[in-house]
Amino acid sequence: MLVIGADLGGTGARAALALDGQVIAETSIEGIADRVVAVESLVGELLSRTQRSTVDAVAVGATGYFMRGRVLREQVPPMMFRAYGARTVLLCSDMLSSYAGALGLNPGVVIAAGTGAVALGSDLQGTWSRVDGWGYLVGDCGGGSWIGRTALQAALRAADGRPDGSAALLTALRAHFGDEAKLVAELAEREDRAGMMAGFVPHVEKAGDHISQGILAQAGAHLAETARSAIVSEPVIATTGNLFRVRAVRESFRASLSPDIEVRRPIGSGVDGALLLAVAATNGTLPANAPCERFTAPRK
């Protein structure tokens, strides 16, 4: 069986082609202006590189699919059927493809912590639990944007002379943004405010004062709460995302969970998960009630 799995993020995309379970080609693109065009480009590149013209199944995990996936839903399946002879197309949030990549088709929880924070848990018997992922304005607790925002607030408290401010973070703010007024102006003008605040995380890590370390520890505790709340059956949690490379976050996360909860590294990536889902969508082994949409080619 020849399948393609793709992972569409906010700023880039990756994909791989596998033949009977073995990856034979991979590709990626940076910058996505049109997600439908990105999928077409990835699939076309993989087939061209392997001198093939058709594929059995395609699975795409896309950031924010269920909130802004209408165009993908309307255009990708018919394009894959018509142009590449696909029999099955599966579309889902990148959280599901990350789950499949991290745990395989096994029960547990996957928590992704980068700019945002979201967890997905399942018993793979039909029950799924999604926790947080509500965005930087009202959620994503413990994510990069949350850390950045909390740290910038501490810096501004120091600038004002209010309690619980951080002089170290104020110094970092001024070095990174110029001054307080420039920070506020940039936040007002930029569309990627969440990414902008998350970009301050390395400065929080380097600051080293007790306020900064407290923020990172609190982030780890928030992430642990999110992951724990997503447990449906098996107390197994796989962690993904750049924030778990931050030692203080990682250690606080582990310390905030009970000893009976197993924390493990992901088995594979979101692309690996998409490949697994493409096969499952074709041979009828998709987990019950999996949060995805499956499309089959019309009979000729």
Distance CA 132, CA 139 (A): 6
At residue 22, the pLDDT reads 92
At residue 211, the pLDDT reads 96
- How do beta strands 57-62 and 2-8 pair? parallel
Whole-prediction pTM: 0.88
At residue 226, the pLDDT reads 98
- Whether the CA torsion 297, 298, 299, 300 is positive or negative: it is negative
pLDDT above 90: residue 116: no
* Whether 26 and 167 share a structural domain: no
At 219, which amino acid appears?
A: A
pLDDT band with cut points at 50, 70 and 90 for residue 294: very high
pLDDT above 90: residue 111: yes
pLDDT tens-digit readout, 183-194:
999 888 887 788
pLDDT above 90: residue 136: no
What share of the chain has pLDDT > 70, as a percent? 99
Beta bridge partners of 88: 57, 296
At residue 69, the pLDDT reads 81
At residue 92, the pLDDT reads 95
* Whether 214 and 280 share a structural domain: no
At residue 9, the pLDDT reads 79
* Whether 275 and 180 share a structural domain: no
Task: Name the domain count of the chain.
Answer: 2
pLDDT tens-digit readout, 4-30:
999 987 668 999 999 998 999 999 988
Average pLDDT, the chain: 93
C-beta of residue 270 within 8 angstroms of C-beta of residue 45: no
φ/ψ of 4, rounded to 5, equals: -125, 135
Host domain of residue 122: 106-266
* Whether 189 and 59 share a structural domain: no
What share of the chain has pLDDT > 90, as a percent? 80
Distance CA 92, CA 238 (A): 19
Q: Which residues contact 153 (CB under 8 A, 6 or more apart)?
A: none
pLDDT above 90: residue 248: yes
At residue 120, the pLDDT reads 97
* Whether 175 and 38 share a structural domain: no
* Whether 97 and 111 share a structural domain: no
At residue 29, the pLDDT reads 87
Radius of gyration of the chain (CA): 21
- Interval 115-131 mean pLDDT: 94
pLDDT above 90: residue 35: no
* Whether 122 and 261 share a structural domain: yes
pLDDT tens-digit readout, 194-236:
888 999 999 999 998 999 999 999 999 999 999 999 999 989 9
* Whether 288 and 221 share a structural domain: no
Q: Which residues contact 45 (CB under 8 A, 6 or more apart)?
A: 27
At 132, which amino acid appears?
A: D
The enclosing domain of 281 has a CATH number of 3.30.420.40
pLDDT band with cut points at 50, 70 and 90 for residue 300: low
C-beta of residue 110 within 8 angstroms of C-beta of residue 291: no
Q: CA separation (Å) from 270 to 93, 106, 144?
A: 10, 15, 20
